[in-house]
Chains A and B, each alone.
Chain A
Amino acid sequence: MTEVERHGFDVVVVGAGGAGLRAAIEAREQGRRTAIICKSLFGKAHTVMAEGGIAASMGNVNDQDNWQVHFRDTMRGGKFLNHWRMAELHAKEAPERVWELETWGALFDRTKDGRISQRNFGGHEYPRLAHVGDRTGLELIRTLQQKVVSLQQEDFREHGDYEARIKVFQEYTVTRVLKDGDRVSGVFGYQRESGRFFVIEAPAVVLATGGIGKSFKVTSNSWEYTGDGHALALLAGASLINMEFVQFHPTGMVWPPSVKGILVTESVRGDGGVLRNSDGKRFMFDYIPDVFREKYAETEEEGDRWYQDQANNRRPPELLPRDEVARAINSEVKAGRGTPHGGVFLDVSTRLPAEEIRRRLPSMHHQFKELADVDITAEPMEVGPTCHYVMGGVEVDPDTASSCVPGLFAAGEVAGGMHGSNRLGGNSLSDLLVFGRRAGLHAAQYADTAGDDRPVVDQEQIDAAAEEALAPFSADGGENPYGLHQELQQSMNDLVGIIRREGEMEEALQRLATLGERAESAGVEGHRQFNPGWHLALDLRNMLLVSECVARAALERQESRGGHTREDHPAMAAEWRRVLLACSLADKPVPGEGAIVLQRKANPAIREDLLALFGVDELKKYLTEDELPGAEADLPPQRADVDADKKSENGAEH
């Protein structure tokens, strides 16, 4: 029998980024005893890397903005594949979530009349992103962290114990979600510091583990982004949707090699920065796709005027959604019009005074000065696409964030549906807050209904999880996990990257199968105390599972849409919009065939009053004939908005 450190809580939140902390705060405020588990130190989560801002239609800068416009932009950005209900809830609730942060001590940049300032961003019709310079993610994480601390102080005053109702387990990693029959019963994992195992018994588990970027070679993501939550959900019996949609942020650093992939915020473009190729041409004007043609400027002059006068001009095409810009940069470089280091030029130095650049983009200025010896107030940056975000994730109920496994919830990047095939910049931080809160709320309610009938942790599962975790130590002469990881990253980058082809993805799946077998015998040196080699060996399981999901779904989807571009199927197909590809774990995996099975599911039809927010001409670009309003088709009966809300609040709508 395995010796483990044991704890009991009502709600366990796995991950301490924006979604995890917001979920934990909510669960604790609902009166549930809540545990937060984080792989790193508290306050270091990947959310700190978010630069641009939080999208919320507060209308502080342009009072034309409202949730309907935000909803529209989000659906357009996601090419209408988004779960409409998630996009609706997100657009409606984002302002409240931002305002609430101020009551917890957040200090956003201000407008002249003292309200929260909002900036322009790709795909957003109005200035919409609440921000703090270009370090908005840090402000978000610190505010939530400090809110957790304030709740702990409250508990200390009441109970004499800071950790009476909310406890942070930092540098703990979860390797398995435990179950009692169909239901979640807790989590199993190891502590980094000592290498010892732990179990937290709890009826409700919220996954908020972020993304999967570490499966790719060029990425803006940190070491933590190994797809843990995606894999944990699969292993617990949940399904993942939209995994083929991976966002390559158009502007990552390309030089020096050691920083390749590190993010250059979209705010550079939002604040006036332009993209040029090696001929000095602003090439984005050549890449405006038909669906967006009426919304974007046709000349540099019009684009430039837009920064001052948005009512009478159209936005410059540098502010197209990220997938469009990334593909355009890719094409320019391929056509031989790239920079010396294989990117394109992003220039703000000729667009704004140096002082203004330092004020608006302080961390970009710092980052380029320190890491690349480039002064962005005097010379252009070199940038290229970098793997940034996965739109796909755990299939959840839009209102409650619950997966199909009772007691298992997911929020933030690890959840799928909200962003469809492509996420707009700024919509991630708001997603974390809106659905983090919902996940925490519904996990707390679910834990409450468990009452005396709490699930029981099964010792056999603990023993099996421990055995799995210790395997790398007994693989004598096994392969170096670092080498395996590099091969995986190279394969995904080369074969399932920004532009995809059938043959290459088939090859990727073969390579993944081989890597999977080799990873089983990955070996590590040393002992269990803070051993990065061991941790990586365990993370490989997760990265391989999610990589297979990405490759399998990408191979299946024979169209190009958002973060999925097929060279052999370059057009977007309305029929495919109705299809969601769901990945789940195969019951009986066949050796060499992979571990994942793929299933086609119907994308729920968009509610009629929401469809009515778009013109029919626009809808025709995305929807099939029989889906269009007024068609005889099987659209759901129209309901009043209020009714829909009421229904969902009590979780009736699944």
Chain B
Amino acid sequence: MSYEATFRVWRGDAEGGELTDFQVEVNDGEVVLDVVHRIQATQAPDLAVRWNCKAGKCGSCSAEINGRPRLMCMTRMSTLPPGETVTITPMRTFPVLRDLVTDVGFNYQKAREIPAFIPPQGVKPGEYRMQQEDVNRSQEFRKCIECFLCQDTCHVVRDHEENKPAFAGPRFLMRMAELDMHPLDAAGDQGLDRKATAQEEHGLGYCNITKCCTEVCPEGIKITDNALIPLKERAVDRKYDPLVWLGSKISRRR
């Protein structure tokens, strides 16, 4: 079964652009990305769009469909209101390069600023021992496909360019939580306090747990509940624990 749909796609570049209408065929079982590809193959061969796996595993085809941040490859046409125009715009939080493609460099810059995993001293490769229950939580966060939809939707940076330098965004705060909960991460031995760093250097305090990030996550990761809130609680514990406070003052004097 096929029908004709109206797609309204943003076209343009850093200088500006506009929504362009396309009448396009839609077939049974198709997803939004299929239809965008058909527009490309038949009407606008230079329509810029990122995509790779078309199976929700690589996180390349992020865009806003009818205003909601989604993966185009995982949005079935049958889930959209029938007969209504489908509007596709690029992710709003990142600068447009062309059409649906944005400059996501912000995310790569933030990724670099998060201190990497620190292997435990004296534990040789092959000698790592961890219990499944102790790695479950970090594994949940490692399901992240880096589609950056959570970064796109987060109101701290969505319309606030000025917050970007100080705020890593949900994806990378979650990365800090992941490392913090890694059973063998040796950050502590190196004098690195990941919780404090999240608070002091990566803007954890900006997050006021509205859970928008969790809502748009195509992997269903409970970013707010499982990563950000626990990180906040522990950061607060440390910050307001008088003994920790005293300890940090003393050790700083050295």
Is there a chain A Cβ closer than 8 Å to B210's Cβ? no
Q: Hey, which bits of chain B sit against chain A, CB under 8 A?
A: 13, 27-31, 34, 40-42, 45-60, 74, 76, 97-99, 101, 103-104, 108, 111-112, 115-117, 119, 125-126, 128-132, 135, 138-139, 142-146, 179, 182, 185, 220
Q: Hey, which bits of chain A sit against chain B, CB under 8 A?
A: 40-44, 46, 48-49, 58, 95-96, 99-100, 102-105, 107, 109-110, 113-117, 132-133, 135, 137-139, 142, 146-147, 149-150, 152-153, 156, 162, 170, 193, 222-224, 255-259, 262-263, 363, 366-367, 370-372, 480-483, 486, 524-527, 529-534
CB distance from B132 to the nearest CB of A (A): 4
Quick one: closest A residue to B59, CB to CB? A44
Tell me whether B112 and A526 are in contact (CB under 8 A).
no
CB distance from B144 to the nearest CB of A (A): 8
Tell me whether A525 and B132 are in contact (CB under 8 A).
no
Tell me whether A257 and B56 are in contact (CB under 8 A).
no
Contacts A49-B58, A109-B132, A371-B76: A255 and B29 contacting too (C-beta < 8 A)? yes
Contacts A49-B55, A257-B28, A367-B55: A100 and B125 contacting too (C-beta < 8 A)? yes
Q: Which 7 A-B pairs have the closest CB atoms?
A: A256-B29, A105-B117, A526-B46, A533-B45, A150-B116, A114-B129, A99-B125
Q: CB-CB < 8 A to A95: which residues of B? A: 126
Q: How far is the CA of A304 from the CA of B49 in the complex (A)?
A: 47
Q: How far is the CA of A41 from the CA of B27 in the complex (A)?
A: 30
Quick one: closest A residue to B75, CB to CB? A370
Tell me whether A530 and B48 are in contact (CB under 8 A).
yes
Tell me whether A41 and B104 are in contact (CB under 8 A).
yes
Tell me whether A138 and B27 are in contact (CB under 8 A).
no
Other-chain residue from B13, B29, B126 in contact with A259 (beta carbon distance below 8 A): B29
Chain A CB within 10 A, most for which of B97, B99, B142: B142
CB distance from A389 to the nearest CB of B (A): 15
Q: How far is the CA of A105 from the CA of B132 in the complex (A)?
A: 15
CB distance from A599 to the nearest CB of B (A): 35
Other-chain residue from A103, A139, A256, A262 in contact with B54 (beta carbon distance below 8 A): A262
Q: How far is the CA of A100 from the CA of B99 in the complex (A)?
A: 41
4 further A-B pairs in the complex, CB-CB below 8 A; given A137-B57, A149-B112: A138-B145, A482-B45, A486-B41, A530-B98
Contacts A530-B99, A533-B40: A259 and B54 contacting too (C-beta < 8 A)? yes
Other-chain residue from A115, A153, A532 in contact with B49 (beta carbon distance below 8 A): A532
User: Could you show 10 A-B contacts with beta carbons less than 8 Å apart?
Assistant: A107-B182, A113-B129, A114-B131, A256-B30, A366-B220, A480-B45, A481-B45, A529-B13, A529-B48, A530-B97
Tell me whether A49 and B128 are in contact (CB under 8 A).
no
CB distance from A268 to the nearest CB of B (A): 15
Q: CB-CB < 8 A to A372: which residues of B? A: 29
Tell me whether A44 and B45 are in contact (CB under 8 A).
no
Q: CB-CB < 8 A to A114: which residues of B? A: 129-131
CB distance from B245 to the nearest CB of A (A): 29
Tell me whether B142 and A142 are in contact (CB under 8 A).
yes
Q: CB-CB < 8 A to B42: which residues of A? A: 482
Q: CB-CB < 8 A to B56: which residues of A? A: 366-367, 370-371
Chain A CB within 10 A, most for which of B29, B52, B132, B145: B52
Quick one: closest B residue to A103, CB to CB? B119
CB distance from B139 to the nearest CB of A (A): 5
Tell me whether A132 and B51 are in contact (CB under 8 A).
no
Q: CB-CB < 8 A to A116: which residues of B? A: 128
Q: CB-CB < 8 A to A152: which residues of B? A: 112
Contacts A105-B117, A371-B74, A482-B41: A153 and B55 contacting too (C-beta < 8 A)? no
Tell me whether B60 and A44 are in contact (CB under 8 A).
yes
Q: CB-CB < 8 A to B182: which residues of A? A: 105, 107
Tell me whether A107 and B45 are in contact (CB under 8 A).
no
Q: How far is the CA of A223 from the CA of B112 in the complex (A)?
A: 28
Q: CB-CB < 8 A to A527: which residues of B? A: 46
Tell me whether B60 and A162 are in contact (CB under 8 A).
no
Contacts A109-B132, A533-B45: A46 and B52 contacting too (C-beta < 8 A)? yes
Tell me whether B135 and A107 are in contact (CB under 8 A).
yes
Tell me whether B131 and A41 are in contact (CB under 8 A).
no
Contacts A256-B29, A532-B45: A223 and B52 contacting too (C-beta < 8 A)? yes
Tell me whether A525 and B46 are in contact (CB under 8 A).
yes
Q: CB-CB < 8 A to A149: which residues of B? A: 111-112, 116
Q: CB-CB < 8 A to A486: which residues of B? A: 41
Tell me whether B126 and A99 are in contact (CB under 8 A).
yes
CB distance from A285 to the nearest CB of B (A): 31
Tell me whether B74 and A222 are in contact (CB under 8 A).
no
Tell me whether A40 and B145 are in contact (CB under 8 A).
no
CB distance from A528 to the nearest CB of B (A): 10
Tell me whether B47 and A532 are in contact (CB under 8 A).
yes
Quick one: closest B residue to A222, CB to CB? B52
Tell me whether B27 and A257 are in contact (CB under 8 A).
yes
CB distance from B217 to the nearest CB of A (A): 12
Q: CB-CB < 8 A to A531: which residues of B? A: 45-46, 48
Quick one: closest A residue to B131, CB to CB? A114
CB distance from A374 to the nearest CB of B (A): 11
Q: How far is the CA of A314 from the CA of B79 in the complex (A)?
A: 46
Tell me whether A40 and B52 are in contact (CB under 8 A).
yes
Tell me whether B139 and A107 are in contact (CB under 8 A).
yes
Q: How far is the CA of A95 from the CA of B45 in the complex (A)?
A: 46
